Structure 1
Amino acid sequence: MGFWHNKRVLVTGHTGFKGAWLCELLLGRGAHVTGLALPPEDDGSLFSRLQLKSRMPGDFVDVRDATAVSEAVKAARPEIVLHLAAQSLVRRSYRDPVGTWATNVMGTAHLLEALRSRSAPVTTVIVTTDKVYENHEWPHAYRENDALGGHDPYSASKAATELVSASWRRSFGDDHLKIATARAGNVIGGGDWAEDRLVPDIIRALISGRPIAIRNPASIRPWQHVLDPLHGYLLLAERLHGSNTGAPFETAYNFGPELSDVSPVETLVETILSHWPGKWIDAGDPSAAHEAGRLSLTIEKAKSELGWKPVWPFERAVEMTVEWYRQVANGRDAAEICQAQIAAFETGS
């Protein structure tokens, strides 16, 4: 709790799944948290269930609006910024590629410009994705110095976000503006209700009693519970903020599971069904838009330079994810569940 106590922290994307969990973590550590994001897409969002609107100040701002972003940053006066605001869905990016690029790339540029104009120093962690790499579908895990790329508009826009961040860091970064990026794997956990995302789709089918339609059962992903990368982001921000110039932490870091926990979609589905019985069907469509077949990250850099490592292995991550949804379906308060899971995670249980 010590480092974050009374720190002024701006979380962009605080109304999203990961952003809401992150705000819960920061509030529990005594930080003064302000949010900047679009309104939640529905009343059942984790943001709404955690009642974050009444627990922290925040503005409903579109990051594509440079003036609004600048005004929100001035009002928040952040010491540390965790930038999660994004259009984060691959299939949606095919439907709205320009909007995806405008949010992810220009939204990041608007934020960095607003921070650059501040007179007080600020530490910034820009969150991207494991999909920033030029994916060759090869068996070895991607390292931070592998080439950036991206087939679909979402992945390519996040690779461009990495370039924007690196450009602002090289052009304007100093002890006044410290910038690092964080590339997380495929995150699971309670409270995600996004469209066309695997775990929410599975849970909706289980709740309704329908068979689960799986598009790509053989696709391989680096699954991890949401609390693992979020603790990585916080640790990176601490190291970056505490360093004299930001070096050597002003760079990119992968946050993912151990390679032994990189698994096919089918394994994830079967593991979920071992906790919440149901059935699934192969709904693959050869004519569907491209999605990567294999992704994995090496996390040795974060381990060696930050002292970070994942806490919950695959089985435990899935168990806690399913438990969250089951308890909410049975009427338990979402905030109580989140707080209990945070306590379990931070004690390694």
Structure 2
Amino acid sequence: MVMFNDAYEGKKVVVTGHTGFKGTWLTRWLTLLGAEVMGISDGIPTNPSMFEILGLEYTIHNRIMDIRQAEPISKALLEFQPDYVFHLAAQAIVSTSYSDPLGTISTNVIGTANVLDAIRQLPGACTAVIITSDKCYENVEWEWGYRETDHLGGKDIYSASKGAAEIIFHAYFNSFLKHRPEIRIASARAGNVIGGGDWAKDRIIVDSVLSWSNRQPVQIRSPEATRPWQHVLEPLSGYLWLGASLATNARLNGESFNFGPRAEQSRRVVDLISDLFEYWQQDFNCYQITGNVPFHEAGLLKLNCDKALFYLKWEPTLFYDECVRMVGEWYAGFYMQKQNVRELTQKQIELYMHLAKERGSRWILSN
């Protein structure tokens, strides 16, 4: 199958935040696409770690460094001379932004600026995708999806840091990078991403599987909170297609794109947990409602992805039940069935690509 116009085969690709949840899935997919990957991260963020389980440190250039330190980042990119950069490194936990606001701001804002400045210093051609979050929007909890032109901002430090990262991206583009035709750059926004291999704290899927692995009900704070859940491979396909398209289409330079699931994917937290528990095949109560909300959480937040559809012809592939099945089978395979997770992960990527081809996704049919 031809994927992403074969844009990544034999190319050098930098992934920042490569040891995290989304970064690990992206790194594995890029290696399957034939890319030479250099990962930049400040360490292994969780235990267990999907990155370690997959053994990716032995198949890529693994660089441990802090993106808040400008000189090492610049030196690494200058030495590697990447064709593509995907910037995912971030402090991504809302609760942590309350306990460590300055660390969150320095990582998400200064770290992004350091990566952009390192890209600015590259002497040759490079295409970069700066990934932020759906939380970059000023959320007023309206019922329709946020568009790329809506206000940036946030009531909490995490949201504000993501809005600020977007502002820094646009400032670097307009001040420096749009005058460099050999460098092309765009930003991507997504949220409510779920999938196997996530063990970050204060995430509903992670809290659930950890509790269930000990035959305990998960404690949930906001059972009625509604989110448009999407499997991790959905936004990653958007990021990869954006990078491939950006490299050949100058009209996309400096733009921002939302990547989200189908409208019917929105479900309450309590519904998602109940549906996921079916794959656990156990007979205890799967959740308890605590009502304890220690920090502000948005009740509703979804994205309008019409721009990605219009300019990239990108659409999500999975339906809600398929998303839940992939998540449930991954964690059940890890905890209950002791499956080979490397093989399971590759099979899920291959299944996703098969479904995308079957449903006419532009990124897998191009040539």
TM-score (norm 1): 0.96
- Aligned counterpart for 1:200 among listed residues 190, 200, 206: 206
Matched AA of 2:109: V
Report the alpha carbon displacement of residue 41 of structure 1 after superposing the two structures with TM: 2.6
Q: Which residue of the other structure, out of 104, 107, 110, is the alignment partner of 1:100?
A: 104
Please name the residue that 2:322 is paired with.
316
2:27 corresponds to which of 19, 23, 27: 23
Q: Secondary structure at the match of 2:288?
A: strand
- Could you say what secondary structure the match of 2:127 adopts? strand
Deviations 1:193-226 (A, max 9, x none): 0011111100001101111100111111121000
The aligned counterpart of 1:231 is 237
1:269 aligned partner: 273
- The answer on 1:165 being equivalent to 2:169 is yes
Q: Percent identity?
A: 41
> Is 1:185–1:221's contact at 8 Å kept on the other side of the alignment?
no
Query: Is 1:33 the counterpart of 2:37 in the alignment?
Result: yes
Aligned residues between the structures: 346
Following the alignment from structure 1 to structure 2, what is the Cα–Cα distance between the partners of residues 56 and 181?
24
TM-score when normalising by structure 2: 0.92
**Is 1:152–1:291's contact at 8 Å kept on the other side of the alignment?**
no
- Does 1:253 find its partner at 2:257? yes
What's 1:297 paired with? 303
Separation in 2, partners of 1:68, 1:91: 29
Once the two structures are overlaid, the 10-residue window that deviates more, 14-23 or 113-122, is 113-122
- Per-residue CA deviations over 1:73-114 (Å, capped at 9, x if unaligned) read 122211110000000000011000100000000001011111
What corresponds to 1:59 in structure 2?
63
Q: Which amino acid aligns with 1:167?
A: A
Question: Given that residues 37 and 60 in structure 2 are in contact (C-alpha distance below 8 angstroms), is that contact kept between their aligned partners in structure 1?
Answer: yes
| Higher alpha-carbon deviation: 217-226 or 171-180 | 171-180
Work out the CA distance in 2 between the residues paired with 1:22 and 1:309. 18
Equivalent residues of 2:274, 2:286 under 8 A apart: no
Of 1, 7, 10 in structure 2, the residue corresponding to residue 3 of structure 1 is 7
- SS in structure 2 opposite 1:119? coil
Q: Name the amino acid aligned to 2:277.
A: L
Q: Distance in 1 between matches of 2:210 and 2:187?
A: 33
- Worse-matched range after superposition: 43-52 or 339-348: 43-52
Matched residue SS, 2:278: helix
User: In 1, are the aligned partners of 2:13 and 2:84 still within 8 Å (CA)?
Assistant: yes
Structure 1 position 185 matched with structure 2 position 204? no
3-state SS, counterpart of residue 247 of structure 1:
helix
Distance 1:42 1:132 in 2: 25
Q: Distance in 2 between matches of 1:100 and 1:235?
A: 29
**1:339 and 2:346 are equivalent in the alignment:** yes
1-side partners of 2:332 and 2:279: how far apart? 10
Alignment map for 1:36-185 (pairs within 5 Å): 36-174=40-178, 175-185=181-191
The alpha-carbon deviation at position 249 of structure 1 amounts to 4.5
Counterpart code for 2:248: G
Q: Distance in 2 between matches of 1:116 and 1:298?
A: 30
**For structure 2, which runs of at least 5 residues remain unmatched after alignment?**
359-367
